């Protein structure tokens, strides 16, 4: 399968290339360090420019600093000059810098690119400035946020942490992906209150908060009777984002954020790591900055978008990115077109994103009296309850496999969690296979809409494998699909929406590819980054230094469900516990936990 990398950037000397979603990060307009010096002001923020317009929409928007947030920004974020060789080990807040005169450019050299373990002298000789900070988190999405939240609650001050990221707000990528895949702020996300990424205690629940805010018992009643007499309660996306914003302000997130694209993490002679950041153009006097730290945490999210090969062929051959779209791309034009004239849409995939896209098509049909025809192609059509044996069963029907959440609930605290923690190699891969597979929640509204579509003959499903997509004689897309018994059929559609996947190989992500090649980390039984039970990357020890990782690139480890809010929080807790054992932060025991929860509840800044 072909894939498009989410985050990439050019090597030393190479021409800039823009990637699918984060390209605009490179265009962030920021005052230069020199300009700041001229005006006599220190740079008050590491990112006071334009927000990356990852949605690809018409507006660039203003830097996404939430209203009312002042973000003094670390003075050390973009140093103006490199350090010479330093004594071993990082852990103070930052290094000041001599002048740039005589430096060799501050970019990666072939020697650095090829060397697995760097010395301070090598980095200094390349003219790359060094910033010392004990803990660096790379990514700046929900995974970084929840990890840093734990560390702040465990007593680590903001000047000991830097979050290196190409986005402004931790929920930015998540909000983009949910919005384009038809979960705007007003719609409900998939997961419930088992995890609140803004609240490590998970109390009060989202349902309780909603009841309080709406002055209505509706959400509490739903929790009481779910899932028999009501669908599982889940919060609206907007509420999740508002809460994240509140917590980000409370822990002073923006004081720790440094904008830029991380190119690589390399081990350091004498212990610790160098994390190389490419700051936004014009923001720093050198092309790269090296963060020298004892600990590194990686939470870079999905490696990339995965397109079905025949759809990618169509797009490339016809240079048509309009009629064949991925659900994770902005594809509002499809819905706009359908409002102007009747049309046919072919939906591919059977997961929650397909359900969301169907809901949008059916909602619009109902709301605007449209005549949209929907053809839904499943590669594997699920007819009913299925599974390996009686204890491993999932409900299904009408093509879909049904499951409330994307993993069975016992992976978070029940028997599956205990079982997989002990499995190695092929046995673990097999266990992941058994509980994996595309699925979607059974929701009353979706069922009613699909039933109506079937009864009125405007929603059609079929099982088959698409072999090719071409432009038909009428100018529409024409898919050739192999159906049962080796028969072939052709489907003509105005648009094809691919809802099949976000997962690309980890090496599609440049930073992860570099890590595999140079850090000593291997792949786990399902091919992703191999992590210990503490989420430390196996094989990457550097003296007293440790690299941790969480989120989708680590799927296949001892703890399933990593790519969920709860999974990210479980990883964050393991990492914080490990760091406490190493003496970096306090353990969050009962006294700290209660006192910190009281601060959370009263929204006291820490």
Ligand X SMILES: Cc1cc2nc3c(=O)[nH]c(=O)nc-3n(C[C@H](O)[C@H](O)[C@H](O)COP(=O)(O)OP(=O)(O)OC[C@H]3O[C@@H](n4cnc5c(N)ncnc54)[C@H](O)[C@@H]3O)c2cc1C
Residue of 28, 130, 300, 411 that binds ligand X (CB under 6 A): 300
Q: DSSP 3-state assignment of 276?
A: strand
CB atoms within 10 A of CB 39: 9
Q: Counting contacts by CB under 6 A, is residue 77 touching ligand X?
A: no
Smaller CB distance to ligand X: residue 178 or 372? 178
Least distance (Å) from ligand X to the CB of residue 149?
12
Q: How far is CA 23 from the centre of its chain?
A: 16
How far is residue 508's CA from residue 437's CA, in Å, rounded to a whole number?
A: 22
How far is residue 329's CA from residue 419's CA, in Å, rounded to a whole number?
A: 37
Q: Counting contacts by CB under 6 A, is residue 279 touching ligand X?
A: no
Residues 290, 268 contacting (CB under 8 angstroms): no
Q: Which residues contact 501 (CB under 8 A, 6 or more apart)?
A: 1, 305, 306, 349
Smaller CB distance to ligand X: residue 162 or 370? 162
Q: Counting contacts by CB under 6 A, is residue 438 touching ligand X?
A: no
Least distance (Å) from ligand X to the CB of residue 175?
9
Residues 486, 504 contacting (CB under 8 angstroms): no
Q: Counting contacts by CB under 6 A, is residue 191 touching ligand X?
A: yes
Q: Counting contacts by CB under 6 A, is residue 355 touching ligand X?
A: no
Residues 552, 302 contacting (CB under 8 angstroms): yes
Smaller CB distance to ligand X: residue 335 or 565? 565
Q: Counting contacts by CB under 6 A, is residue 176 touching ligand X?
A: no
Map the footprint of ligand X across residues 557-586, applying CB under 6 A.
563-565, 568
Residue of 134, 139, 501, 556 that binds ligand X (CB under 6 A): 139
Smaller CB distance to ligand X: residue 328 or 458? 328
How far is residue 13's CA from residue 320's CA, in Å, rounded to a whole number?
A: 31
What residue is closest to ligand X based on CB?
141
Residues 434, 428 contacting (CB under 8 angstroms): no
Q: Counting contacts by CB under 6 A, is residue 346 touching ligand X?
A: no
How far is residue 51's CA from residue 211's CA, in Å, rounded to a whole number?
A: 34
Q: Counting contacts by CB under 6 A, is residue 167 touching ligand X?
A: yes
Residue of 178, 355, 440, 540 that binds ligand X (CB under 6 A): 178
Enter the tokens of residue 10: 């050019």
Residue of 49, 134, 279, 551 that binds ligand X (CB under 6 A): 551
Residue of 90, 129, 134, 301 that binds ligand X (CB under 6 A): 301
Q: Counting contacts by CB under 6 A, is residue 304 touching ligand X?
A: no
Q: Segment contacting ligand X (CB under 6 A): 139-147, 317-325, 394-402, 442-450?
A: 139-147
- Give the DSSP per-residue string, 369-424: T---EEEEEESS-B-S-EESSTTSEEEEETBEEE-SSSS-GGGTTSHHHHHHHH--
Q: Which single residue is written with the structure tokens 């060397």?
A: 115
Q: Segment contacting ligand X (CB under 6 A): 89-97, 183-191, 516-524, 588-596?
A: 183-191
Q: Counting contacts by CB under 6 A, is residue 50 touching ligand X?
A: no
Q: Segment contacting ligand X (CB under 6 A): 76-84, 141-149, 393-401, 428-436?
A: 141-149
Smaller CB distance to ligand X: residue 464 or 567? 567
Residue of 81, 126, 161, 189 that binds ligand X (CB under 6 A): 189
Residue of 78, 135, 150, 174 that binds ligand X (CB under 6 A): 174
Residues 273, 112 contacting (CB under 8 angstroms): no
Least distance (Å) from ligand X to the CB of residue 7?
3
Task: Classify each residue of 512-523 as buried b or exposed e, where b means 16 or more C-beta atoms within 10 Å of its C-beta.
Answer: bbbbbebbbbee
Residue of 93, 166, 205, 519 that binds ligand X (CB under 6 A): 166
Residues 92, 272 contacting (CB under 8 angstroms): no
Residues 79, 61 contacting (CB under 8 angstroms): no
E runs forming strands in 439-487: 459-463, 465-471, 477-482
Return the closest-CA partner of residue 168 out of 32, 90, 76, 65. 65
Map the footprint of ligand X across residues 15-44, applying CB under 6 A.
22
Enter the tokens of residue 595: 């006192």
Polymer length of the chain: 606
Contact pattern from residue 464 through residue 503 relative to ligand X, giving x for each residue in contact according to CB under 6 A and a dash for the rest: --------------------------------------x-
Smaller CB distance to ligand X: residue 30 or 167? 167
Q: Segment contacting ligand X (CB under 6 A): 105-113, 177-185, 307-315, 485-493?
A: 177-185
Return the closest-CA partner of residue 43 out of 69, 66, 76. 76
Residues that bind ligand X (CB under 6 A): 7, 22, 138-144, 164-167, 173-174, 177-178, 181, 189-191, 261-262, 299-301, 502, 511, 551-552, 563-565, 568
């Amino acid at each position: 399968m072909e894939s498009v990398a989410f985050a990439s950037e050019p090597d030393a000397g190479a021409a800039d290339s823009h990637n699918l979603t984060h390209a605009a990060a490179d265009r962030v307009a920021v005052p230069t360090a020199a300009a700041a010096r001229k005006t006599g002001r220190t740079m008050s923020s590491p990112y006071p420019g334009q927000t990356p317009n990852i949605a690809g929409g018409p507006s660039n928007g203003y830097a996404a600093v939430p209203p009312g947030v002042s973000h003094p920004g670390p003075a050390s974020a973009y140093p103006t000059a490199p350090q010479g060789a330093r004594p071993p080990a990082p852990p103070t807040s930052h290094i000041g810098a001599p002048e740039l005169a005589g430096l060799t450019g501050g970019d990666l050299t072939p020697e650095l690119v090829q060397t697995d373990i760097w010395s301070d002298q090598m980095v200094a000789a390349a003219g790359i400035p060094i910033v010392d900070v004990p803990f660096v988190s790379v990514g700046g999405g929900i995974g970084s946020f929840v990890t840093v939240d734990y560390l702040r609650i465990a007593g680590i001050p903001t000047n000991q942490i830097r979050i290196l990221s190409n986005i402004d707000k931790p929920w930015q990528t998540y909000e983009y992906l949910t919005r384009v895949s038809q979960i705007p702020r007003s719609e409900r996300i998939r997961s419930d209150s088992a995890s609140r990424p803004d609240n490590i205690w998970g109390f009060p629940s989202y349902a309780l908060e909603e009841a309080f805010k709406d002055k209505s018992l509706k959400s509490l009643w739903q929790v009481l009777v779910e899932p028999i007499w009501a669908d599982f309660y889940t919060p609206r996306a907007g509420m999740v984002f508002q809460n994240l914003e509140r917590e980000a302000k409370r822990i002073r997130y923006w004081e720790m954020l440094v904008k830029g694209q991380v190119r690589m993490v390399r081990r350091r002679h004498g212990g610790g790591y160098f994390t190389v950041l490419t700051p936004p153009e014009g923001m720093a006097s050198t092309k790269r900055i090296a963060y020298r730290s004892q600990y590194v945490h990686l939470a870079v999210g999905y490696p990339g978008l995965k397109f079905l090969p025949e759809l990618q062929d169509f797009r490339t051959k016809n240079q048509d990115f309009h009629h064949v779209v991925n659900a994770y791309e902005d594809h509002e034009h499809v819905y706009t077109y359908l409002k102007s004239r009747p049309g046919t849409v072919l939906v591919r995939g059977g997961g929650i994103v397909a359900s969301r896209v169907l809901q949008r098509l059916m909602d619009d049909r109902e709301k605007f009296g449209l005549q949209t025809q929907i053809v839904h192609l499943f590669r594997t059509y699920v007819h009913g309850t299925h599974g390996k044996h009686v204890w491993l069963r999932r409900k299904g029907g009408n093509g879909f496999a049904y499951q409330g959440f994307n993993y069975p609930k016992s992976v978070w605290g029940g028997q599956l969690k205990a079982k997989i923690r002990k499995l190695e190699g092929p046995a673990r891969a097999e266990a992941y296979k058994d509980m994996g597979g595309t699925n979607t929640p059974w929701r009353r509204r979706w069922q009613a809409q699909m039933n109506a579509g079937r009864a009125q003959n405007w929603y059609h499903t079929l099982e088959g494998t698409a072999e090719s997509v071409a432009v038909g004689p009428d100018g529409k897309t024409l898919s050739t699909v192999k159906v049962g018994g080796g028969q072939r059929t052709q489907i003509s559609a105005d648009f094809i929406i691919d809802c099949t996947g976000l997962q690309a190989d980890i090496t599609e992500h440049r930073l992860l590819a570099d890590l595999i090649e140079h850090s000593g980390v291997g792949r786990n039984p399902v091919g992703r980054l191999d992590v210990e039970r503490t989420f430390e990357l196996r094989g990457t020890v550097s003296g007293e230094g440790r690299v941790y990782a969480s989120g989708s690139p680590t799927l296949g480890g001892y703890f399933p469900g990593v790519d969920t809010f709860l999974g990210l929080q479980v990883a964050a807790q393991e990492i914080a516990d490990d760091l406490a054992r190493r003496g970096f932060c306090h353990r969050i025991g009962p006294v700290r936990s209660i006192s910190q929860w009281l601060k959370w509840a009263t929204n006291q800044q820490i």
